[in-house]
């Protein structure tokens, strides 16, 4: 009987050692899982944007490129603050664009009547689709012009005629020698 009790006790000790050993292994596995989980989370934080960050970036700057048979168009949409000190809730969208149509480049802003077109032949300025000024073949052609201070005609080699408005409302024409 004593032998049986000793064998049972010995068997119980072996089973307890196995349970303790199993507990140690479970703790080690749990620790490894925790370390791996933290590494994965760290990698994700370093390499990926949050959904909110991505939404903010998309709202701050968006570019759309569309291609049609007659043109390639890039539209830029930028969110800008209208009020100083970045007061939230007071934003407006400004849409600007660059269009490529063959050898022509068009610059403009949605809702604005003015555009500029640059081609192999020259540079044109348009208002509501009508050309109001252009530069081509060493000439500037403009529908209406305002000269605020002085209009000069001539060259550095030959001299200049300066048309200068006076305070009285009269117009003076002065010769400016090229050597002066």
Residues 130, 127: Cα–Cα separation, whole Å = 5
Name the domain count of the chain: 3
Query: Which pLDDT tens digit goes with each residue over 25-75?
Result: 777 777 777 777 777 777 766 676 677 776 766 655 566 667 777 777 766
Q: Which helix (H) or strand (E) holds 15?
A: helix 2-47
100 and 117 co-located in one domain:
yes
Q: Are residues 64 and 19 in the same domain?
A: no
86 and 138 in a common domain? yes
CA distance 30 to 34: 6
Q: Any idea what the Cα angle at residue 49 is, between residues 38 and 59, rounded to 5°?
A: 160
Which residue range is the domain that position 125 belongs to? 51-142
Whether residue 87 is found in the same domain as residue 160: no
Could you report the per-residue pLDDT of 105-131, keeping only the tens digit for each?
Answer: 999 988 899 999 999 999 999 999 999
Would you state the pLDDT for residue 95?
72
Q: How far apart are the first and last CA of the chain?
A: 134
Q: What secondary structure letter does DSSP report for 55?
A: H
Residue 157 sits in the same domain as residue 176: yes
Within this chain, do residues 90 and 36 fall inside the same structural domain, yes or no? no
3-state class (DSSP) for residue 123? strand
Is 120 in contact with 103 (CB distance < 8 Å)?
yes
| 55 & 95 share domain | yes
């Amino acid at each position: 009987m004593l032998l049986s009790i000793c064998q049972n006790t010995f068997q119980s000790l072996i089973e307890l050692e196995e349970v303790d050993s199993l507990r140690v292994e479970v703790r080690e596995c749990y620790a490894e899982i925790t370390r791996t989980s933290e590494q994965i989370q760290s990698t994700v934080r370093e390499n990926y944007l949050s959904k909110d960050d991505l939404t903010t970036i998309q709202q701050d700057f968006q570019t759309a490129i569309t291609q049609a048979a007659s043109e390639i168009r890039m539209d830029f949409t930028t969110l800008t603050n209208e009020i100083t000190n970045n007061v939230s809730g007071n934003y407006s969208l400004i849409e600007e664009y660059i269009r490529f149509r063959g050898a022509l480049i068009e610059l403009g802003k949605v809702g604005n009547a003015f555009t500029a077109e640059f081609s192999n032949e020259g540079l044109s300025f348009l208002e509501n689709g009508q050309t109001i000024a252009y530069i081509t073949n060493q000439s500037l052609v403009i529908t209406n012009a305002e000269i605020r201070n002085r209009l000069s005609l001539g060259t550095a080699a030959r001299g200049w005629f300066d048309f200068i408005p006076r305070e009285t409302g009269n117009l003076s024409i002065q010769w400016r020698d090229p050597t002066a």
